[in-house]
Amino acid sequence: MENKVTKIGVLTSGGDAPGMNAAVRAIVRTGIYNGMEVFGIMRGYAGMIDNDIVPMHSRSVANIIQRGGTILKTARCKEFFEYEGRKKAYANLKKLGINGLVIVGGDGSFRGAHKFSNEFDIPCIGIPGTIDKDIAGTDFTIGFDTAVNTAVEAIDKIRDTADAHDRLFIIEVMGRDAGYIALHSGIATGAEHILIPERKTDIEELIDSLMEKERRKKLVNMVVVAEGDNFGGADEVAKVVKERIPSADTRVCVLGHIQRGGSPTCMDRLIASRMGYASVECLMEGRHNVMVGILNNKMHYTPLERAVKAKQKISDEWIKIVRILAS
């Protein structure tokens, strides 16, 4: 690989996450400060293949740090899974002289970056941008704090109406493969039960617990379910609850994509800015194929290959906390 990176391409890939714009801003301005040219690649890897690549300047990223979504857009790109697609993308980068890439995304995006960097002579740096917080090597991912705070605000409001009507609410939050949003928002809102993909749902245990609470006249109950829960999400759980406990006034609320949008929290803006700055520093130092993360408030660098294979794990202590505090 070339020793000195002079032109950087930045893209956002996979699901959008609040704070991606803050990361793009930091990458562009850090690159320009260090005398580099920076290019924005539109629509993730699709833009790389379609040559939808634009020069970025300091003014290009003005007034975006507070905006959700991503000004570079994002897309899933099946063509990049194939070697011919990656070869076409590489040719477009070479025409522009781009010799370093920063990818803001999740594990799928990092898999593509790892493969691309191994096949061609362009170093890649990954920044974890995903609301699910499902990537090892960092305490937080960009977008998680905003998403979980959005969920908390919504669940707090639902509890008000649950209390007014003595209702049981089953609330579905995002988290196809990871239960961190459900876990954090559930604990923060005092949910009686939290169902996550990392633990097999014991529906009989849930029913028994809800019936016991009904017997002692605890009629307001909140069950927070991750969408990837093995039982099938909030609707499937609600079907069984309504059959087995018909006396309970049961309602379902699926929070959905509101968790993806909105202005990023201070925390997401800060970690995105730090990670964006550090990603350019990595390229300047000659690092490649690493993910920039933050562990114990310090920058941490994880090989992309390890970042996509290892997942954040939910400890048994978290589950114990849920059980004790919800009793």
Q: Please provide residue 38's backbone torsions phi and psi, each rounded to the nearest 5 degrees.
A: -125, 135
- pLDDT category at 181 given cuts 50, 70, 90 is very high
Mean pLDDT, all residues of the chain:
92
In the numeric block, the tokens 């990595």 are attached to 282
Give the single-character DSSP code of 99: -
Residue 302, both tokens = 């994880």
pLDDT at 93: 97
Q: Is pLDDT above 90 for 167?
A: no
Q: Is pLDDT above 80 for 268?
A: yes
Separation of alpha carbons 210 and 192, rounded Å: 9
Residues 6+ apart with CB under 8 A from 30: 276, 277, 280, 281
Separation of alpha carbons 261 and 25, rounded Å: 18
Q: Is the dihedral of CA 113, 116, 117, 122 positive or negative?
A: negative
Q: Is pLDDT above 60 for 314?
A: yes
Over the stretch 73-97, which tens digit does the pLDDT of each residue have?
A: 998 888 999 999 999 999 999 999 9
- pLDDT category at 325 given cuts 50, 70, 90 is confident
- Burial of residue 76 (CB within 10 Å: 0-12, 13-18, 19+) is middle
User: Which alpha helices (H) appear in the chain, and where do they start and end?
Assistant: 20-33, 45-50, 83-96, 107-119, 144-165, 180-188, 203-215, 234-244, 266-285, 304-309, 316-325
pLDDT at 198: 86
Q: Is pLDDT above 70 for 312?
A: no
Separation of alpha carbons 156 and 167, rounded Å: 14
- pLDDT category at 202 given cuts 50, 70, 90 is confident
- pLDDT category at 1 given cuts 50, 70, 90 is very low
Residue 234, both tokens = 């909030």
Sorted by where each starts, the structural domains of the chain and their CATH numbers stand as 7-143+264-309 (3.40.50.450), 145-260 (3.40.50.460)
Residues 6+ apart with CB under 8 A from 230: 197, 200, 201
Residue 265, both tokens = 């929290």
User: What positions carry a catalytic annotation?
Assistant: 132
Residues 6+ apart with CB under 8 A from 82: none
pLDDT at 201: 85
For the chain, what percent of residues have pLDDT higher than 70? 97
Coil, helix or strand at residue 250 = strand
What predicted TM-score, i.e. pTM, was given to this entire model?
0.92
pLDDT at 309: 67
Over the stretch 121-154, which tens digit does the pLDDT of each residue have?
A: 899 999 999 999 988 899 999 999 999 999 999 9
- Burial of residue 254 (CB within 10 Å: 0-12, 13-18, 19+) is middle
Q: Which residues of 208-219 are buried (b: 16+ CB within 10 A; e: fewer)?
A: ebbeebeeeeeb
User: Residue 38: which of 59, 9, 11, 4 has the closest Cα?
Assistant: 9
Separation of alpha carbons 36 and 31, rounded Å: 5
For the chain, what percent of residues have pLDDT higher than 90? 72
CB-based contact 122:98 (threshold 8 Å): yes
The length of the chain in residues reads: 327
